[in-house]
Amino acid sequence: MAEPEREPLDAVVIGAGPAGLFAAWSLATGGARVALLEAGGDMRQSLCPKVSVRMRGRTVRAAEKFRLQCNRCDCLTGLGGAAFHFDTNLGYVSGLSQSKIENDGRGGFRTYSGLERTLGDFGRAAASVQEVYRLMYRFGLQPPRAAEHHAAGCGTVPANAVPSSFALADDALSQAVTVDDALGMVDGLLDDALGHGLRLHLRTRAESVSRLDDGGWLVRTADAEFRARNVVVAVGKLGLGWVRGLLDQNAVAYRPSGRVDVGVRLETTRELAAPLTASCQNPKFTFLNEGGEAVRTFCVCEGGRIMQYAFQDTVVLDGQHCLTTPTERTNFGIVTSVEVPPGGDGTQHALDFGRRATTAGRGLPVVQPLIELLGRGSCADRPGTSLVRVCWTDLNPVLGPRRVADIAAMVDRLEEVAPGLVGPRTVVAAPVVERLFPAIELSGDMESSAPGLYFVGDCSSKIIGVTYGASTGLAAAAAVLRG
């Protein structure tokens, strides 16, 4: 094992997804001595080992059509993280909106932004998102043309445009980005950071993070050690188990998550879903169920596909935008922010949900026609789905009556917007799980109760998403630079 350097680094960043990349760039260009550790390889190398990708300079032909045929995608590591390995939607171009709701305890609801709560102030959160976009445009992302967004506005959909049964409908302006665009942008950001002294270590997995006697930190990999005054943990969902161990080993203050998102992905024809995406690319519709839990649409992928990947001992679904090779289908999540009873653990609740689906599907996603799930009819022929290997079976035992009721209430509301959605051409696929990490106690700068140890992006337990993740990376970096 290589000897650690005599002079500690200012910071080690673990994980090169959006949060880690922006944190490392900000630290390096701010004059810090920083190392970025990424378990995967270069972005081009990690796109997909099963497809021959043609390269022309910085342009890579879209591979997601082939990659999504994998039974379980296992190439979600690498520069850019899972976020930039597919065409995706970044969100919030014109301004941050409060697109989430929760029970206010008085029979009503309140709206909020996850990033607002994470950073402690709405103005700060909105400014941070704008800074992320400014940097993305600087490094090669092309600003959107108004026509690409169906002349959408920013904020909430006019009250007369959606059924009154929704507590909130949000059509905040979004920005799409293709894999080709992301490659160029990541190249530009990394070139600038490397030019300012960033030490990039690919195919280097952090095995442990421990406190040193002098108050600094020691990060161990299989063949090296890094001493640093600060550590920024920026691993994605796949790092859940490792992060839970890290928290316990370093006595970081946290509690079991009390709220977790579980649900399904609904897939139908692009034609039937068109009214839902007429105002913007990723509309968000939300209501409170009878238990006061928020039920919402999530990650609308117009002309997209559903992908599956291995997570812990389960299979998990996600939606993918296919901007360069669109399909004739649209899919989106329907998730419930489940309030876990006192003494419960949201992480365990979500994993158990995923395991029920994986068991029912014998290792494959479980798919069922929507009308059969709701008991409103049967399909002589199975509806089409972008998933290739699935198990067609009854989802009721997997979801349970409360989640089925949430899905029914959501699609009945959406039926008023998109007539025909509840019909023989719509399928439901499970499982979908989000926001799995324990509730870590963090400052508005993303610092944990262990001084100098920061958690950003997905693993912060506070937010998910590209722009949100990048914003938290910038916040942590700014705190480290202030010393």
Q: Provide the pLDDT for residue 73.
A: 57
Dihedral, 148, 151, 154, 158 alpha carbons, nearest 10: -140
Query: Does 313 share its domain with 363?
Result: yes
The pLDDT tens digits for 285-326 are: 999 999 999 999 999 999 999 988 888 888 899 998 888 778
The pLDDT tens digits for 16-41 are: 999 999 999 999 999 999 999 999 88
| pLDDT band, very low/low/confident/very high, at 123 (cuts 50, 70, 90) | very high
Query: What is the C-alpha to C-alpha distance for residues 155 and 141, in angstroms, rounded to an integer?
Result: 23
**Among 13, 15, 40, which residue's Cα sits nearest to residue 24?**
13
First-to-final CA distance of the chain: 30
Query: Does 337 share its domain with 245?
Result: no
Q: What is the pTM of this model?
A: 0.91
218 belongs to a structural domain? yes
Query: Does 209 share its domain with 63?
Result: yes
Q: Which residues of 69-105 are buried (b: 16+ CB within 10 A; e: fewer)?
A: bbebbebbbbbbbbbbbbbbbbbbbbebbbbbbbbee
Query: Does 380 share its domain with 442?
Result: no
The pLDDT tens digits for 410-461 are: 999 999 999 999 999 999 999 999 988 999 999 999 999 999 999 999 999 9
The residue among 417, 434, 451 that closes a domain is 434
| pLDDT band, very low/low/confident/very high, at 75 (cuts 50, 70, 90) | low
Place of tokens 């959605």: 421
Q: What is the mean pLDDT of residues 321-350?
A: 91
Q: Provide the pLDDT for residue 334.
A: 98
Query: What is the C-alpha to C-alpha distance for residues 107 and 222, in angstroms, rounded to an integer?
Result: 54
266 belongs to a structural domain? yes
Contacts of 79 (CB under 8 A, 6+ apart): 16, 21, 38, 40, 41, 42, 43, 46, 186, 190, 202
CA distances from 409 to 13, 58, 198, 285 (A): 43, 46, 51, 12
Which of residues 43 and 218 earns the better pLDDT score? 218
Query: Does 163 share its domain with 224?
Result: no
The count of other CB atoms within 10 Å of the CB of residue 318 is 23
Q: Provide the pLDDT for residue 55.
A: 40
Query: Does 289 share its domain with 376?
Result: yes
Query: Does 246 share its domain with 320?
Result: no
Query: What is the C-alpha to C-alpha distance for residues 142 and 185, in angstroms, rounded to an integer?
Result: 10
Q: Is the pLDDT of residue 356 over 50?
A: yes
Query: What is the C-alpha to C-alpha distance for residues 438 and 340, in angstroms, rounded to an integer?
Result: 12
Tokens read off for 198: 């960033």
Asked if 126 contacts 91 with a C-beta cutoff of 8 angstroms, the reply is: no
What are the strands, taking DSSP E only, across 321-379?
Answer: 329-339, 366-369
Contacts of 230 (CB under 8 A, 6+ apart): 10, 11, 12, 217, 452, 453, 454, 480
Q: Provide the pLDDT for residue 63.
A: 45
Query: What is the C-alpha to C-alpha distance for residues 28 and 24, in angstroms, rounded to an integer?
Result: 6
368 belongs to a structural domain? yes
Average pLDDT, rounded, for the chain? 87
Q: Provide the pLDDT for residue 62.
A: 43
Query: Does 188 share its domain with 315?
Result: no
378 belongs to a structural domain? yes
143 belongs to a structural domain? no
Q: State the CATH number of the domain containing residue 241.
A: 3.50.50.60
Maximum CA extent, the chain: 71
Q: Provide the pLDDT for residue 442.
A: 97
Q: Provide the pLDDT for residue 144.
A: 75
Q: Is the pLDDT of residue 126 over 60?
A: yes
Q: What is the span of the domain harbouring residue 393?
A: 150-172+258-434
Query: What is the C-alpha to C-alpha distance for residues 13 and 230, in angstroms, rounded to an integer?
Result: 9
Q: Provide the pLDDT for residue 65.
A: 45
**Among 281, 294, 334, which residue's Cα sits nearest to residue 99?**
294
The pLDDT tens digits for 84-100 are: 877 788 877 767 888 89
Q: What is the mean pLDDT of residues 361-372?
A: 95
The count of other CB atoms within 10 Å of the CB of residue 404 is 18
132 belongs to a structural domain? no
Looking at the 3D structure of the chain, how many domains does it have? 2
Query: What is the C-alpha to C-alpha distance for residues 330 and 272, in angstroms, rounded to an integer?
Result: 9
| Amino acid type, 106 | R
- Give, in degrees to the nearest 5, the angle at Cα 455 between 352 and 181: 90
Place of tokens 């653990």: 345
Q: For the purposes of burial, counting CB atoms within 10 Å of the CB of 265, is it exposed (0-12), middle (13-18) or buried (19 or more)?
A: buried
| pLDDT band, very low/low/confident/very high, at 196 (cuts 50, 70, 90) | very high
Strand-pairing partners, residue 227, are 218
Q: For the purposes of burial, counting CB atoms within 10 Å of the CB of 235, is it exposed (0-12), middle (13-18) or buried (19 or more)?
A: buried
Tokens read off for 360: 């029912």
380 belongs to a structural domain? yes
Q: Provide the pLDDT for residue 66.
A: 46
Query: Does 238 share its domain with 363?
Result: no
Query: Does 227 share its domain with 356?
Result: no
Contacts of 296 (CB under 8 A, 6+ apart): 100, 284, 285, 286, 287, 334, 335, 337
**Under the phi-then-psi rule, with left for phi > 0, alpha for psi from -120 to 50, and beta for the rest, what region is 264?**
beta
CA distances from 67 to 72, 180, 461, 465 (A): 10, 15, 28, 21
Query: Does 427 share its domain with 321?
Result: yes
104 belongs to a structural domain? no
Q: Provide the pLDDT for residue 147.
A: 40
Query: Does 359 share its domain with 447?
Result: no
Place of tokens 């050690």: 225
